[in-house]
Chain A
Amino acid sequence: MGSNCDYTKAVFDHFQNPRNMGEIEDADGVGTVGNPSCGDVLKVMLKVDGDKISDVKFQTFGCAAAIASSSMMTTLVKGKKISEAKKITNKDVAAALGQLPPIKVHCSNLAADALQKAIGDLK
């Protein structure tokens, strides 16, 4: 435990008040990553308007860091051009959250992975 499990204020904020949580029924792109046996499953849904991401929603089964990373990732993506969203990496998500405990860094990886998978799913 100890410092390894200490979260930043931003992590707590996004965990307690997740942004863009929910579903898009007629999503243009969906990306799901993770595995229930590992304790993390992230699903990202995108709606596009021209070359822009007009809406994004997520659903996450996972720890506080996984939920916060998902939420933060959606705020980085919403309203962005698809070409810009493609450049978003786990480092961007982790940086936006301040810092993640080393053992939780994989949670930010998953958020970025789910996003890229959803972008890849766009028609």
Chain B
Amino acid sequence: MRIYLDNAATTKVYPEVAKKVNEIFLKSYGNASSLHSVGREARSELVKAREEIAKFVGCDSKEIVFTSGGTESNNLAIRGLAPMNPDKKHIVTSVVEHPSVLETCKYMGKWGYEIDYVGVDSEGIVDVKEVEKLIRDDTLLVSVMHVNNEIGTVQPVEEIGKVCKKKGVYFHTDAVQGFSKVDLDLGNIDLMSVSGHKIGAPKGVGFLYVKNGTKISPILNGGGQENGLRSGTENVPGIVGLATALDVSVDKKKIKKSRDKIIAGLKKIKGVKINGSMKNRVYNNVNVSFYGIEGESLMLMLDKDGIYVSTGSACASTKLKESYVLKAIGAEELYVHGSIRMTLGEDVVGNEDFVVGKIEEKVNKLRKISPFKLELENE
């Protein structure tokens, strides 16, 4: 049996998406900028896909700028806004953002920008009032993610958007983990990053929503595609794949039930902590810490039995550091390292007991190896 529980890392492309993308590869393979029929055919697919995506988002098709994915969208939002507003040299973001936002902000720091990081509470939620306090006259933008990639916490982005609107600063949200999963009103959101491969579309495609009237400068220059905002031959197969993926219905309620069943089962294991918020949490995320063991070991043991999870902690990510997200929510040392993330898809439905049973078996095995097991018994 193979149970893939790492859908926040990437998803399997939906069969209907793969079929459609294959069709575009073989039939509508033209360059969407070419004037001949083959190009026109690709262009019409592109136009259609853009309209479908805009309809799903609830925006004008001109507000969609296709990119290579989440990282590029985040870079384009932050780095694109800066040259259009040269007097604004301050950015507000949160401590739990994805590296593609954190590192881009750090990069802006090298160019004279001052960055303020808003903290989170023990559930990983950003305090809207704190965001408001950090906004200054020279604030360029506020960037706070929609759903956290590690612990699945849904941020109050609509409220943050309201505050930004009131203060007259741009608001960007990295919606890579939340788009199509958690409803979002774009009323007060100026920029939103989306990635295709997190939602059943291929890797290498995504978009940045840019609200009409929000001026950004491109970070890739060339042939002037995407209204001059993103040069490079349009990835028509990927874009059509993204539009097709949005058509596929996902049984969120069923997956949420699975998630809750798994969490209830895990809570019965000794020395366990569920990280994040139970109320404000994306329907498919489980992030759990076990006392006295290390997450990578647990991940690899589960891997052997066909259960694929991930760890935001330490060794698995080649960076020998504990998860900065778990640290930010104040997780204890001997728990922080023993955390795994499960981001569920439909294949888990009906297998919840199997997954929980395997996790318990592996946790017990690793605790036998660990020198910290005695302390647990004394808890």
Contacts from A to B (Cβ < 8 Å): 1, 4-5, 12, 15-16, 18, 21-22, 32, 36-41, 43, 59-67, 103-104, 106
Q: Roughly how many angstroms separate A43 CA and B374 CA in the complex, as a whole number? A: 14
Q: Which stretch, B199-207, B232-240, B291-299, touches the partner chain A?
A: B291-299
User: Could you tell me if B318 and A5 are in contact, using CB atoms closer than 8 angstroms?
Assistant: yes
User: Could you tell me if A32 and B371 are in contact, using CB atoms closer than 8 angstroms?
Assistant: yes
Given contacts A39-B337, A67-B297, contact A60 B320 (CB under 8 A): no
For residue B271, give the distance in angstroms from its CB to the closest CB of chain A. 13
Q: Could you pull out 24 A-B pairs where Cβ atoms are within 8 angstroms?
A: A5-B316, A12-B300, A16-B301, A36-B334, A36-B337, A37-B333, A39-B313, A39-B337, A43-B371, A59-B369, A59-B371, A60-B370, A61-B369, A61-B371, A62-B294, A63-B296, A64-B300, A64-B315, A65-B315, A66-B294, A67-B369, A103-B315, A103-B320, A104-B315
Task: With CB as the reference atom, state the residue of chain A lying closest to B371.
Answer: A59
User: Could you tell me if B333 and A41 are in contact, using CB atoms closer than 8 angstroms?
Assistant: no
Q: Roughly how many angstroms separate A115 CA and B297 CA in the complex, as a whole number? A: 22
Q: Roughly how many angstroms separate A22 CA and B315 CA in the complex, as a whole number? A: 24
Task: With CB as the reference atom, state the residue of chain B lying closest to A38.
Answer: B320
Interface SS of chain B: helix
CB within 8 Å of A: which of B356-376? 368-372
Contact of A16 (CB < 8 Å), options: B293, B304, B313: B304
User: Could you tell me if A61 and B333 are in contact, using CB atoms closer than 8 angstroms?
Assistant: no
Q: Roughly how many angstroms separate A36 CA and B300 CA in the complex, as a whole number? A: 20
Task: With CB as the reference atom, state the residue of chain B lying closest to A22.
Answer: B368
Give the interface size class of chain B.
20 to 34
Contacts from B to A (Cβ < 8 Å): 292-294, 296-297, 300-301, 304, 313-318, 320, 322, 333-334, 337, 368-372
Given contacts A15-B300, A16-B304, A18-B369, contact A63 B318 (CB under 8 A): no
Contact of A103 (CB < 8 Å), options: B318, B368, B372: B318
For residue A78, give the distance in angstroms from its CB to the closest CB of chain B. 17
Contact of A61 (CB < 8 Å), options: B318, B320, B322, B372: B372
Q: Roughly how many angstroms separate A22 CA and B292 CA in the complex, as a whole number? A: 15
Q: Which residues of B contact A12 (CB under 8 A)?
A: 300
Q: Roughly how many angstroms separate A59 CA and B371 CA in the complex, as a whole number? A: 5
**Can you list the 10 inter-chain pairs with the closest CB atoms, starting with the nearest?**
A63-B315, A59-B371, A63-B296, A39-B337, A39-B314, A61-B370, A43-B371, A4-B318, A64-B300, A36-B333
Q: Which residues of B contact A1 (CB under 8 A)?
A: 316-318
Q: Which residues of A contact B337 (CB under 8 A)?
A: 36, 39, 61
Given contacts A37-B333, A39-B314, A39-B337, contact A63 B304 (CB under 8 A): no
16 new A-B contacts, CB < 8 A, other than A18-B369, A61-B292, are A1-B318, A5-B315, A16-B304, A32-B371, A36-B334, A38-B320, A39-B337, A40-B294, A60-B370, A62-B297, A63-B294, A63-B315, A64-B296, A64-B300, A66-B294, A103-B320
Task: With CB as the reference atom, state the residue of chain A lying closest to B310.
Answer: A1
Q: Which residues of A contact B292 (CB under 8 A)?
A: 61
User: Could you tell me if B300 and A41 are in contact, using CB atoms closer than 8 angstroms?
Assistant: no
Q: Which residues of B contact A18 (CB under 8 A)?
A: 369
For residue B377, give the distance in angstroms from its CB to the closest CB of chain A. 14
User: Could you tell me if B318 and A21 are in contact, using CB atoms closer than 8 angstroms?
Assistant: no
Task: With CB as the reference atom, state the residue of chain B lying closest to A42.
Answer: B371
User: Could you tell me if B317 and A63 are in contact, using CB atoms closer than 8 angstroms?
Assistant: no
For residue A81, give the distance in angstroms from its CB to the closest CB of chain B. 27
Q: Roughly how many angstroms separate A41 CA and B333 CA in the complex, as a whole number? A: 12
User: Could you tell me if A41 and B318 are in contact, using CB atoms closer than 8 angstroms?
Assistant: no
Q: Which residues of A contact B317 (CB under 8 A)?
A: 1
